[in-house]
Amino acid sequence: MAIPQLTAADGTALPAIGLGTYKLTGSEGVDAIDRAIRTGYRLIDSAVNYENEGAVGRAARAAGVRDELVVTSKLPGRHHRYAEALTTIEESVYRTGLDQIDLYLIHWPNPKVGLYVEAWRALIEARERGLVRHIGLSNFLPEHIDRLQSETGVAPVVNQIEIHPYFPQQEAVEYHRAHGILVQAWSPLGRGNDLQENPTIVEIAAAHGVTPAQTILAWHVARQVIPLPKAASSQRQQENLDIFGIKLTDAEVDAITALGRPDGRLKDQDPAEYEEF
C-alpha cells in the first residue's frame, strides 16, 4: 500500500503517517517495529529518551527496504550544549547501526535553560557532516522557531507537537503551514483519555463504517498533520494504516476540531514552561 507524502518548503517529503515507538523496547520492540515495516510503515519515530534506538535500528537494518525508511530520533534536553549535542547525535547513529539517521529533532526547547539555539547549530553541523539527512524540532512554539530562523537562517522541516481532538492546536497548524514546516502529532489518539468513546467521534465513525481510532487518524490526515500512533499488534498497525480512503467532510472535520478544550493537553506539558532532560 502506497502511503501519501507531505512536502516541506525545502522539498523534504515525509509519509503522511508514522509509527510511534515509545515503550517499544528490546526484542519485543524489534518484533513490533519489524511487523510495522512489513505492514507498510515507512516513518519510524524514536528518541534518545525512549531508550530504543537500538531496537529501531535493528528492525530497520533487517527490513530490506532501508532506502524507503525515514528513521527518526530526538536530542534530549540534558545535551543541548553544542559539543554534547554532536556527541549525542553520533551515539544515536552508532546505536541504530545505520550509516545515518534520516530525521533528527530537538525533543523539547527547554526555554528556561535557553540553549536550544546552540543545540540547533549542532543539528545543522550534524547534517553537514552527513550524520543525519534532515533536521527538525519537537514541542517548539512559534516564538522558538522564529528565533532559530532569525539566528541561524535554517528552518526546520518538521515540528512534532501534541495534537489530538481535545487539543487540536489550530493556530499552530496554520503557523506551520504558512511557513512550510510539516507538523507531526504525538499521542494523536489522545493516549489514555476517552476520545474513542466521544459521541461525536463515534457518530462520525459509524457514518463511514470505520473505527473511532481510524476516524481520529483520518481527521489528522484531513488537516495535513502526520499522526504517529503507537501500535504493537499487526491488527492495530494495519487498522491505523487503512485510513487514506476515509474522506471526512469539512463539517465532520470541523466538528472533531470543535472538541478542543482549554485544558486539553494530556499532561499539562506546555513547551513555554515544561522541561525534559
Q: Which residues are catalytic?
A: 50
Give CA–CA dist 200/258, Å, rounded. Answer: 10
Whole-number CA gyration radius for the chain: 18
- Interhelix angle for 116-128 vs 142-152, to 10°? 60
> What DSSP element (H or E) covers 225?
strand 225-227
Q: Residue 242's closest CA among 253, 229, 255?
A: 229
Cell numbers that stand for 276 in this block: 525534559
Helix, strand and coil in the chain, % to nearest 5? 45, 15, 40
Surface-to-core class of residue 242, CB atoms within 10 Å of its CB (0-12 exposed, 13-18 middle, 19+ buried)? middle
Phi first, then psi, for residue 7 (nearest 5°) are: -120, 130
Surface-to-core class of residue 67, CB atoms within 10 Å of its CB (0-12 exposed, 13-18 middle, 19+ buried)? exposed
